[in-house]
A and B are shown apart, each in its own frame.
Chain A
Amino acid sequence: KAGVTQTPRYLIKTRGQQVTLSCSPISGHRSVSWYQQTPGQGLQFLFEYFSETQRNKGNFPGRFSGRQFSNSRSEMNVSTLELGDSALYLCASSHSGLAAPLAKNIQYFGAGTRLSVL
């Protein structure tokens, strides 16, 4: 069974540009979450989608947005990039999301997209 796939693996952008990251969840998983990882900050929750609906959102500015498609694939968009947006962006999928029985809540992560903003 294929794991969570994130593309691209690496990106270099300049300030002011926008970027779109893609995530394909494990087959059968309907929940997709996005996280930002920076040194010393751990994984910061961005948002979670289930059946094309955003169910929760972290404390990030509106420049960060996402969406989920009917096949559960998800994209994350960052507009007007800033230097501080340089980070590893991780996507995780789970079978049923956090409202489900606990064993189905476990999130499985992709390898991430490393974004560098110059």
Chain B
Amino acid sequence: DQQVKQNSPSLSVQEGRISILNCDYTNSMFDYFLWYKKYPAEGPTFLISISSIKDKNEDGRFTVFLNKSAKHLSLHIVPSQPGDSAVYFCAASEAGTYKYIFGTGTRLKVLA
């Protein structure tokens, strides 16, 4: 079963506009969530994270929102830049399990 789901395989956004990437999860025991960005031929790069005790975390142009009741996570990128074009993965972990569960990824294309 897919415990972490990214239902949009791709997303296109105009440069300067907001990009919103979504992630849903099913395991209510997850307590830490992360977003990674991946360029072709490179490993995923950590972007931003959030603990389950928070509902928002901001780092520059990137903000992650967590809605625990809906089991929903989103990443907002404002303003979007062409260099943001990549595949974005959300991941979740449960304390004591020593592993991350990743979604299938969303390919973001920012159009100049």
Give me the interface of A with B, judged by CB distance under 8 Å.
Answer: 4, 6, 31, 33, 35, 40-45, 48, 50, 55-56, 58, 90, 92, 97-99, 102, 105-112
Contacts and interface: CB of A to CB of B under 8 A. Distances in A.
A99 B98 contact: yes
Interface in B68-112: 89, 91, 93, 95-105
A108 B42 CA distance: 12
Contacts of B46: 106-108
Contacts of B63: none
B43 A45 contact: no
Interface residues of B, number: 26
Given A33-B100, A42-B104, A109 B44 contact: yes
Contact of A56 (B41, B51, B98, B103): B98
A103 B51 CA distance: 10
Nearest to B97: A56
Given A98-B98, A102-B32, A42 B44 contact: no
